[in-house]
Amino acid sequence: MAMRYFKNAAIRGKEIKKKAKEPWHKNKEPWYKKKEVWYIDGLPYECTRCGQCCKGKGYIWVAYEEVLGMAEHLEVSPEAFIQQYTHRARGRRSLVQTPKGDCVFLSHDSTGQSQCKVYPVCPAQCWSWPFWPANLFDRHCWDDAAKECPGIGKGEMHDCAEIRRMRAASPTRRHRRVQRPGQR
């Protein structure tokens, strides 16, 4: 009995040593590739143009390339755009807001729906909404964001690849509970 135990232990020992010599990734997917995100099946979202996310205290971060695009769209020089429509905050540039907290480019059409004066070239922070890291942290955060954005959970389905692309493009911080509509 004892002999059989030692024989089995020796076989097991050899197997363990053999495995240890194999590259760790042989026939295995790394753990970070296996990990599935909770929105793997996609998420529904379609803007209702309520304008809620363009209002409120906070920041609308703009990169220099975005400034160039918006300046061209408005047919002003980049310098004039920077001076008139942006301000410095926390070491970055943000779009100016009205005293009420509305984005300087927010307007409304005759039916009361919101309009963005720089829509075709709006900053990544705007077009990546609501697929921001903070909103995608978990289902709870997504549901939280839906309380303030009526477009979340409705309309067109966005697949996981598209969501990931927008999430990566968002200049907002990754911490949960950072920015919500009206807190830019």
User: Applying CB under 6 A, which residues contact ligand SF4?
Assistant: 47-54, 60, 95, 103, 105-106, 114, 116, 118, 122-123, 126, 129, 149-151, 181
Task: Between 51 and 69, name the residue whose CB sits nearer to ligand SF4.
Answer: 51
Gap between the Cα atoms of 153 and 139, Å rounded: 12
Least distance from ligand SF4 to the Cβ atom of residue 37, Å: 21
Least distance from ligand SF4 to the Cβ atom of residue 130, Å: 6
Task: Between 116 and 141, name the residue whose CB sits nearer to ligand SF4.
Answer: 116
Q: Which residue type does 135 have?
A: N
Beta bridge partners of 43: 158
Task: Between 43 and 53, name the residue whose CB sits nearer to ligand SF4.
Answer: 53
Least distance from ligand SF4 to the Cβ atom of residue 61, Å: 10
Task: Between 13 and 44, name the residue whose CB sits nearer to ligand SF4.
Answer: 44
Least distance from ligand SF4 to the Cβ atom of residue 94, Å: 10
Task: Between 43 and 54, name the residue whose CB sits nearer to ligand SF4.
Answer: 54
Gap between the Cα atoms of 146 and 50, Å rounded: 13
Contacts 24+ apart (CB under 8 A), 117-124: 117/74, 118/70, 118/73, 118/74, 120/73, 121/66, 121/69, 121/70, 121/72, 121/73, 122/70, 123/60, 123/61, 123/62, 123/63, 123/66, 123/70, 123/95, 123/171, 124/63, 124/66, 124/169, 124/170, 124/171
Least distance from ligand SF4 to the Cβ atom of residue 151, Å: 3
